[in-house]
Structure 1
Amino acid sequence: MSSSDIFIGETIGTAVLILLGAGVVAAVVLKRSKAQNAGWLAITFGWGFAVMTAVYMTGTLSGAHLNPAVTVGIAIKDGDWGNVPVYFAGQLLGAMIGAALAWVAYYGQFRAHLTDPEIVAAKSEHAGLVDQKTEPDAGPVLGVFATGPEIRNVWQNLATEIIGTLVLVLAVLAFGLNDDGKGLGTLGGLIVALTVVSIGLSLGGPTGYAINPARDLGPRIVHALLPLPNKGGSDWGYAWIPVVGPLIGGALAAGIYNLAFV
C-alpha cells in the first residue's frame, strides 16, 4: 500500500472512530440528549462498534491501525518503521477531525449543557474546591473529548493504560492481522472490536481507557481550541499519561508476541 493510501485511510478511519466514540460519550453525558444517562455499558459498546465500523471502512486502504500503539506494535513485530510517521500523522489528524465533527453533531447539546444554571453553579463550586486542593479543573465536558482518572495516582494511571493497551495490541497481533501482516483481517476486526468492549468493561474504570495516544491527544487539542463556554481546562498535566502509557503497552505487547508466538 502506498503512503498516500495509508495517510488517507488512517485519517478517515480515525476520524470515524473518534466521531462515533466521542459521539456516544456526548450522547450519554450531555443535557438535552435523548440518550442522557444511558450509562457505562452504552459507552463501552459504542466505542467497540466505533472500532468495528472504522476498521471495516478503511482496512483495505491502510490496514486500519487507527492507533499509534498498534502501529508501534506492528513495527516492532515486523521490524519495518518506514511508514510509521505517515500512520501517526493520519491518526492524529483524523482524531482531531472526528472530535470536531462530534462537536458539530452535538453543538446544541454542548451549549445547553454548559450554559445550564445547575452545571455552571456546580462548576463554580468545583473550581473553588480545586483551588483549595491545588488540583486541575478539567471542566465538565472534557470527558467527551479525552480521558481522565477517577483517582490521580501517576503510577497507577500509567500502569492501567499500559496494561489495557498491552491486551489490545497483543490481541491485534495474535489474531487480528491480515495475511500480509499489515492490518486487521475481516474476522479480526470484529474480534478486536469486542476486545475493546472487554477492556472498557474490565479496565476502563480507573482512567477511562484511552489505550490510544491519538484518540486522547487529538480530541484534547480540539477541546482546547473550541469556543465552548465554561468548558474549563484541558488537563494538560495528565495528557502525557494516555500518550506514553499506550505506547509502552504496544511495545511490550510486540515483545511478548515475538517471544511467545513466533
Structure 2
Amino acid sequence: MMDFVGELLGTFILVLLGNGVVAGNVLKGTKGENTGWIMITLGWGLAVTLGVLVSGFYSPAHLNPAVSIAFAVLGQVSWGTAFMYIIAQMIGAMLAQVVVWLQYLPHWDMTPDPETKLAAFSTAPAVRDTTSNFIGEVVGTAVLVIGVMAMGPNNLSSGFGPFVVGAIVASIGLSLGGTTGYAINPARDLGPRIVYQFLPMKNKGNADWGYAWIPVLGPIVGGIVGGLIYNLVLAGI
C-alpha cells in the first residue's frame, strides 16, 4: 500500500511542478510568461528531483509507466506490481493537473489560443512528423532508463539519487526535447490530456487525440529498449 501512495504522491509532485512551470511560461499574464525553453527544462528537472525525493522512502520512485514496464520486462518487478504503480502514477498525474488548472485559473481565460492552453497539459511536436516524433520519444526515454539503471552500479551516496535523476531529465530536455516537448512518460502526458478533455475553459480546443498515442507508446518502447540495452550490453561490461 505504501508503494502505491509513494508512486501517486511522487507523480503528483512531478506533474504539479512540471506542468506548473509550463503553464507559467505559456499562459497570458503570469509573472513567468515567455521565460522560455531553458526555464521549462530546468523546471521539469527540479520537478522530477522533488518527486523522487518525496516518494523514494515509500516506493522505488518510478513515477513513470515506461520505467515500471521496463523493470517488469527485465524481471526486476512483477507485472502485478508494475500495473499497480501505473495506476498510482495515472491518478497522481490527473490530480496534479487539476491543481495546476486551479493555480492558474484566471489565466486560462486570458489566453486565447487553444493549442497554448493544451501545452500546459500535454506535449505537442514542434514539427508534426509521425516517424520523427515517435523516434524522439523512444530515444529520450531510452536515455532516461539507461541513466536510471546506471545509478545502481555507480554506488551513489544515500539521498543523492533524486538529484541525478532530475539532472538526467533536464539534460534530455535541453538536448533532445525540442522536437516533441519530451513527454518521456505516458502518465505525465495521458493523465493531464484526459483532464483537459473534461475541464471547463473558455475557447478550449480539442485534446489532439490523433497525436496522443505517440507520447504513450513511444516512451513505453523507449523504456524497454533502454532497459534491454543496459541489461544486455552495459551491465555486462
**What band does the TM-score fall into relative to the shorter chain?**
over 0.9
Which residue of structure 1 lines up, in the alignment, with residue 61 of structure 2?
64
Partner deviation per Cα, 1:154-198 (whole Å, 9 max, x = no partner): 11100000000000011001115898xxxxx62221111101011
d(CA) in 2 for partners of 1:30, 1:177 = 42
**Counterpart residue identity of residue 9, structure 1:** G
**Counterpart residue identity of residue 203, structure 1:** L
Structure 1: gaps (5+ residues): 114-118, 124-137, 180-184
Q: Match for 2:143 among 167, 175, 178?
A: 167
Structure 2: gaps (5+ residues): none
Q: Match for 1:139 among 107, 115, 118?
A: 115
Partner deviation per Cα, 1:26-63 (whole Å, 9 max, x = no partner): 11111110111111111000000000001010101111
State the 4+ residue runs in structure 1 displaced beyond 6 angstroms.
none
- Alignment partner of 1:99 is 2:72: no
Which residue of structure 2 lines up, in the alignment, with residue 251 of structure 1?
224
d(CA) in 2 for partners of 1:201, 1:38 = 15
Q: Match for 1:11 among 8, 11, 22?
A: 8
Partner deviation per Cα, 1:86-124 (whole Å, 9 max, x = no partner): 1010000000011111001111111222xxxxx3xxx5x
Rg: which structure is higher? 1
What's the CA shift for 1:7? 1.2
Which residue of structure 1 lines up, in the alignment, with residue 37 of structure 2?
40
What's the CA shift for 1:139? 2.9
d(CA) in 2 for partners of 1:175, 1:210 = 22
What's the CA shift for 1:77? 2.9
TM (normalized to structure 1)? 0.85
Per the alignment, in what secondary structure is the counterpart of residue 61 of structure 1?
coil
Q: How many residues align?
A: 233
Which residue of structure 2 lines up, in the alignment, with residue 128 of structure 1?
none
d(CA) in 2 for partners of 1:229, 1:191 = 40
What's the CA shift for 1:255? 0.6
Per the alignment, in what secondary structure is the counterpart of residue 150 of structure 1?
coil
Which residue of structure 1 lines up, in the alignment, with residue 181 of structure 2?
208
d(CA) in 2 for partners of 1:111, 1:242 = 27
